[in-house]
Amino acid sequence: MLSSLLLAASFQIGPFYEQKESYAAVRPVVSREGETVDVAWPLFTRHRDWWRFAYVVNWQRSGRGGFQFSVAPLWFNGRDPDKGAYAGLFPLLGSHPHILTVYDLKFGLWPLWMQYSVPRPSEKKWLETTVVLFPFVNWRSDGSWAVWPLYGVKRQRESLHRYALWPLFTWASYSEDRDTSGAGSSWMFWPLCGSVCRERERQTMFLPPLFSWTRTSSPALEAKGRAGGGFRLRCPWPLFEMEKTPRRSRLSVFPFFEDVSLSKYGGGGEESGVMRFGWKAVELYREKGEVQEVRVFPFWVKNSGYFRLWPFWETSSCGGTEKSRCLALLPIRWIPAVDRNWSKFWTFYERELTGGAVKHSLFWGIISWGGGE
């Protein structure tokens, strides 16, 4: 018992100091785990290829000599291995090779002028968009253009969408496309009514999006003798919704009850599903018809590898090791940075079970014991 106490004291002093094989911390000032170093987290974090300060100042290194530095949201600069140096002072002037979901972004006196490109992998091409007086005037390299909210035309794969006095009048025409509902057309006069008439979809809307009735079909499945049709009823949305397709079944009475079931396309029984009560207060997740996880936010979560009784107890299993702790004040699952720098201040008891060996630690290792293999 004395040797265990001495060993614990040499590696852990209360919640303030802890040292392990690849981990050390002087909380809440500094901590290191592997290649990650925190200083007064969330104030500063450094990793092998990046560092950030207060989630505002960021620096990141990329391959072949590339890097990026930014002071959000005002300044950025860097070097792209393929496109060279870039910089920007928002909203005055700048260019960036890739930010969020757009590429080759350029702007000047934003929102006066902006230009960017987006990939279309299915069409094997890039689309360039120019925007003047965002969001009012824009045009695109595929012929799409808009003077919002007066009139706009947008090409999207095999369809052509238009609007006039958005959102009052919208209409579209569709060509045959294997990934959508086939050829046809649609229109909507908001907020009164609308309609969709396509090869594999028929939809009627009243006071959209409150009331709608949709019928779908799948000629490919029906040709194989399988049920390919489906429907969806919203009456009114989001309070009541019922949906049934070959892939998905859903019944929702918002915010009291929801049941969603996902199946293999064309049949074969349920693959996964979830049942909810009180919107997301109580959730039961299923796999192949069996309940695998129960959540009662934020108090209770239980599955095969995790259990939490908030704010008192948490147990997680990974790689043959089971770890438990008390208290567990976070109402969400383990966050590495919080665990490194803060969680020890409220974790009074820990248990680690590996194979047949178990270790217990009370009051940050002041009292510890264990046994087994």
**What's the pLDDT tens digit per position in 206-235?**
999 999 999 998 776 666 666 668 999 999
- Does 371 fall in a domain? no
Are residues 182 and 233 located together in one domain of the fold?
Answer: no
Q: Do 232 and 190 fall into the same domain?
A: no
Task: Single out the residue in 169, 185, 208 at which a domain terminates.
Answer: 208
The pLDDT value recorded for residue 266 is 57
Task: Answer yes or no: do 217 and 203 share one domain.
Answer: no
Co-location of 230 and 285 in the same domain: yes
- 277 with 217, same domain? yes
Phi and psi at 241, nearest 5°, equal -150, 130
Domain identity same for 219 and 265: yes
Q: 238, 268, 290: which is the final residue of a domain?
A: 290
| pLDDT (0 to 100) of residue 212 | 97
Residue 2: inside a domain:
no
Indicate the pLDDT class of residue 339, thresholds 50, 70 and 90. Answer: confident
259-318 confidence digits (pLDDT tens): 999 987 656 678 899 999 998 899 999 998 899 999 998 899 999 889 999 999 999 998
- Note the pLDDT of residue 169: 98
Q: Based on the fold, state whether residues 201 and 247 are members of the same structural domain.
A: no
Q: What is each CA distance from 331 to 111, 158, 162, 269, 343, in whole angstroms? A: 40, 46, 46, 34, 12
237 and 285, same domain (yes or no): yes
Residues 241 and 272 in one domain: yes
CA distance 3 to 342: 28
* pLDDT, tens digit (0-9, with 9 covering 90-100), for 177-187: 766 788 999 99
pTM: 0.78
Q: 243 lies in a domain?
A: yes
Q: Are residues 156 and 196 in the same domain?
A: yes
Residue 287, CA distances (Å) to 167, 267, 295, 307 in order: 41, 16, 15, 18
Provide the total of helices (H) and of strands (E) in the chain, helices listed first: 3, 38
Final residue before a domain boundary, out of 243, 275, 290 = 290
d(Cα 333, Cα 303) in Å, to the nearest integer? 13
The backbone torsions φ and ψ at residue 224, rounded to the nearest 5 degrees and listed phi first, read -95, 10
How far is it, in rounded angstroms, from Cα 124 to Cα 114?
24
Task: Give yes or no: residues 177 and 221 share one domain.
Answer: no
SS3 of 296-344: ECCCEEEECCEEEECCCEEEEEECCEEEEEECCCCCCCCCHHHHHHCHH
Mean pLDDT for all residues in the chain: 89
Domain that holds residue 188: 149-208
- The reply to whether 183 falls in a domain is yes
Contact 145, 139 (CB under 8 A): yes
Residue 216, phi-psi category: left (phi > 0), alpha (psi -120 to 50), beta (remainder): beta
Q: Are residues 200 and 238 in the same domain?
A: no
Instruction: Tell me the DSSP string of 167-234.
Output: TTEEEEEE---TTTT-SEEEEEETTTEEEEEETTEEEEEETTTTEEEEEE--HHHHHTTS---EEEEE
Tell whether the model's pLDDT for residue 118 goes beyond 90: yes
Domain-embedded: residue 302: no
What is the number of domains present in the chain?
2
316: in domain: no
Within a domain: 353? no
What tokens appear for 332 in the block? 């969400």
Residue 355 lies in a domain: no
Give the per-residue pLDDT at 5. 39
